[in-house]
Amino acid sequence: MNDIIWNDRTDETPWPNNAQLFQPLELEQILLPDNANCLYIQTFLRMCDLDFEIIYRSNAEFMSPSGKVPFLKCGPYICEADAIVNFVNNKGYSLSKDLDPSNKADLRAFTSLVNSVLVFAELYITWCEPSVYNEVTRPRYGSGYPWPLNTVLTYKKRKQVIKMLKPHGFYDMSINEVYKKVETCCQCLSTKLDNNNYFFGEQPTEFDALVFGHVYTILTTPLPTNKFSAIVRGFPNIVAHCERIEKTYYPSDKSRK
Amino acid sequence: MGTVHAKEHSTMTYGEMDRNSAVTDKKTVNLQEIQARVDKVNVEGLNRTQEDIIKRTVKELFKVNNFEEVIKEVHRTQVKLESLGCFSNISALIDVSSGPKATSQGYEVTYFVKELKRVKGSVNTVIGRDNEGSRVVGTVAPNVFGRAEKLHCEFSYGSRQTSTFNVGFYKPFILNTLAELNTSVFQNESDWPNSGYKQIDRGTSIGLGFPFMQNIRHTVQWEGCWRELNMNTRYVSFDVREESGHTLKSAVKHILTVDTRNTPLMPTFGSLLQCTSEIAGLGGNIRFLKNEVLLQHNVEIFPETVIQGSVTGGVMRPLGSQKEIHICDKFFLGGPQSLRGFISRGVGPVADKNFIGGTLYWAGALHLYAPLPFKPGAGGIGDLFRTHLFVNAGNVGSFNIDFSDRRWLHEFRESTRLAYGAGLAIRLGQLARVEINYVIPVLFDKSDGINRGVQFGIGVHFL
């Protein structure tokens, strides 16, 4: 509800110099879907040329009011995940304000495509695919907690994710059906991108940040099965788009491979 | 309590000795001069209760020498049998002993007991911490294995949407000693609006209590507790928000109690000393050392007019790799049961209007208890009421305790909180106490949550 209040309010106070982005520990804890989201928001803030500091906390998920990571602490305000883009837009920094209405509608449609396919596919791979769950998710998610809390919390989170996937039909799919959906989604994105530098015109928008966040994470996260990244690699223009953004916005970042 | 029957005309029921001897035949009998011994003790009505615990309870009866001791010991043993918690109705009969092994001064004591049913259920309403009302549904299985063990289970749902459950097992007489074992599995939700968070505790505890000389008691307890902290609103101070999430505490606690009071609720004489040490960090991700002490002394200056002084204090520090004390382990002060004149947790360090507690505290209170003016209902309901005048003071804070630099001590002393007032204290059975007070805070900080005027409190432990 508070998100809605923010969305309606245009806040012209300048960007504070102590904005902090909270996310889980990158090295030992963060999982594929959260990592994609964190990278999306980081890239978006960099594209807006806004100063922020990344703070790693093992309890970031629980500090966030909605349980979603990352969340932004900007002065007295706290907002998380998708609400960050609106919050920043309301501060007067927008990457998509110059788009014409039909492009704006497209941007929304594609954003919802990515959110309803890639995000759920990532959650499926992370929590429902046995090899990934046992070899990657379990040890990483429970890394910050002593026994037996690590087992209990991982089990609890898995139940929560399954509850979320069920109404979208993902939980009942086989892994191949999920890969098929991902492939269709990538095909769609690839067609939209064509040979352009960015999805909507010559300047990047928040959608470019979103795609970069997901694609980069899918390509670089080591998993027991590499089928997921192989599908994405099958679309050269998407991979090129990802590399382009990496070069532009993370020019000297050693940690990004 | 049952009655003690006497068969011979010259013997009298316990407690009515003086009156009977004066009224019936106007002849004084010195019971101490009547030689007596107990030959036999019968306990009628035992079904599933094991004999060995009955034997240890009644064995003192065989040590008596004269008839007065017989009567007193019969009564004492009856109280002991009642305290086993296995019987619902106990009465005693003293008879001259008969049979082949009877001695000339021998008596035979018979207790008629009725065992409690195997399962007992209850539904009630209670008012607990911070005046939160809750419904409690509970079942008890007394005397499960015949040795006064007790298995109990409670579920409660409170007016602030907090629910708790507790399954416990109690076993006295471990290995034939007076030691008691207490184990429990619990889930406990609590809401702390003044601190901005809700806490869910899930855990298990196992404790061993044993008496040590007269009035001294040791309790050693281990508790493993998974705590979950959730913020109440989006606007909770970030300092509190940072503590959100899950922690696991595994702690060993030692409690030493020296209690010479006549009763725990509104005593008229005696004192209480309680020292608690808790060390957390055997497993889990919480490490601290916590020490607390409580001292209470009661003096009856006039009949039924009692002065009670209490002092309590505590200090804790993080251990090992942990640098800060987690908010749910910290000390808090304020509220009708601790520092009157302040709202619950309404004293001490604050972060954006949320009280965050401290690592050092002290509090003291001086009460003058007196009966109601003109003693209405004396000897009956009026005895449950007491008026009291009180002064209480205390402070809580987080200080870096350094004995070479005393500035922290100065600061701690300077910021003492003080309140005084008067009110009515009502004893509810031997279980709880209600207080309605008019309080005037005198010394307080501008960030404190003060409660000037009428303050209502209900609970078991009061400062």
What are the chain A neighbours of B242 within 8 Å (beta carbons)?
57, 59, 63
Average pLDDT for chain B: 85
Share of residues in chain A with pLDDT > 70 (%): 93
Nearest CA in chain B to A59: B245
User: How confident is the model at residue A8, as a pLDDT?
Assistant: 46
Interface contacts (A, B; CB < 8 Å): 37
- Residue B222: the pLDDT is 95
Contact criterion met (CB < 8 Å) for A73 and B238: yes
Instruction: State both tokens at A200.
Output: 């909507």
Closest alpha carbon to B336 in B206, B239, B250, B432 = B432
Give the CA distances from residue B242 to residues A53, B154, B168, B283, B319, in Å, rounded to whole numbers and listed in that order: 16, 33, 34, 22, 20
Across residues B311-322, what is the average pLDDT?
Answer: 90
- Which of B238, B244, B284 shows the shortest C-beta gap to A59? B244
- By residue count, chain B amounts to 463
* Residue A15 in this model has a pLDDT that exceeds 60: yes
Fold of B120-459: Porin (2.40.160)
Cα separation of A77 and A93, whole Å?
17
More confident position, B455 or B104: B455
pLDDT at A257 over 50: no
Query: Strands B4-6, A77-80: parallel, antiparallel or unpaired by DSSP?
Result: unpaired
Dihedral sign computed on CA atoms, order A215, A216, A220, A222: negative
Comparison of pLDDT for B33 and A114, the residue scoring more: A114
DSSP code, position B126: E
- As a whole-number percent, the residues of chain B with pLDDT over 70 amount to 93
Q: Complex ipTM, two decimals?
A: 0.85
Dihedral (Cα; B62, B68, B74, B75), 10-degree rounding: -150
| CATH class of domain segment(s) B37-115 | alpha beta
Q: Is the pLDDT of residue B13 over 60?
A: no
CB nearest A65 (choices: B229, B234, B248): B234
The mean pLDDT value of chain A amounts to 87
CB contact under 8 A, B244 and A78: no
Q: Is B334 exposed, middle or buried (0-12, 13-18, 19+ CB in 10 A)?
A: buried
Domain B37-115 matches domain B120-459 at the CATH topology level: no
Among A61, A62, A145, beta carbon nearest to B285: A145
**Has residue A24 got a pLDDT over 80?**
yes
The answer to whether the CB atoms of B285 and A63 lie below 8 A apart is no
Closest CA to A156 of B405, B245, B104: B245
Burial of residue B446 (CB within 10 Å: 0-12, 13-18, 19+) is exposed
> Which pair of structure tokens corresponds to residue A255?
């940690």
The pTM for the full model equals: 0.82
More confident residue, B161 or B320: B320
- Shortest distance, CA A83 to any CA of chain B (angstroms): 14
Q: What is the mean pLDDT of residues B313-331?
A: 90
| Of B15-29, B130-144, B326-340, minimum mean pLDDT range | B15-29
- For the four alpha carbons of A192, A196, A202 and A204, in that order, the dihedral sign comes to positive
Q: Is the pLDDT of residue B12 over 70?
A: no
Task: Choose between A9 and A40: higher pLDDT.
Answer: A40
The confidence band for B246, taking pLDDT boundaries of 50, 70 and 90, is very high
Rounded Cα distance between B116 and B121, Å, is 12
Q: Is A27 helix (H, G, I), strand (E, B) or coil?
A: coil
pLDDT at B10 over 90: no
Cβ of B242 and A152 within 8 Å? no
Give the model's pLDDT for residue B126.
Answer: 74
pLDDT at B395 over 90: yes
Provide φ and ψ at B410, rounded to 5°: -60, -50
d(CA B340, CA B384): 21
Least CB–CB distance from A62: residue in B234, B244, B285: B244
How many Å apart are CA B141 and CA B119, to the nearest integer?
A: 4
d(CA B114, CA B143): 12
* Higher pLDDT among residues B4 and B187, named by residue: B187
Q: Is the pLDDT of residue B50 over 50?
A: yes
pLDDT for residue B131: 64
Q: Is the pLDDT of residue B7 over 60?
A: no
Set of chain B residues whose Cβ sits within 8 Å of the Cβ of A73 = 238
Partners of residue B355 on adjacent β-strands: B350
* Residue A20 banded pLDDT, cuts 50, 70, 90: very high
Q: For B264-315, how does the pLDDT look when each residue is reduced to its tens digit (9 = 90+)?
A: 888 889 999 999 999 999 888 899 999 999 999 999 998 889 999 999 999 9
pLDDT of residue B219: 94
Give the mean model confidence (pLDDT) for residues A230-234: 92
**Model confidence over B96-127: pLDDT tens digits?**
888 787 788 888 889 999 988 888 888 888 76
**Residue B73 one-letter amino acid:** E
Are the beta carbons of B142 and B116 closer than 8 angstroms?
yes
- Between B294 and B405, the more confident residue is B294
So what's the pLDDT on residue B193?
Answer: 87
- In which band, very low, low, confident or very high, does the pLDDT at B24 lie, cut at 50, 70 and 90? low
Q: How confident is the model at residue A9 (pLDDT cuts 50, 70, 90)?
A: low
Q: Could you give all domains of chain A from N- to C-terminal order, each with its CATH number? A: 20-91 (3.40.30.10), 101-250 (1.20.1050.10)
Which percentage of chain B shows pLDDT scores above 90?
A: 37
CB interface of B with A, residues 220-249, below 8 Å: 226, 229-231, 234-235, 238, 241-242, 244-246, 248
CA angle B410, B413, B418 (to 5 degrees): 160
Sole residue written with tokens 């003492």 = B416
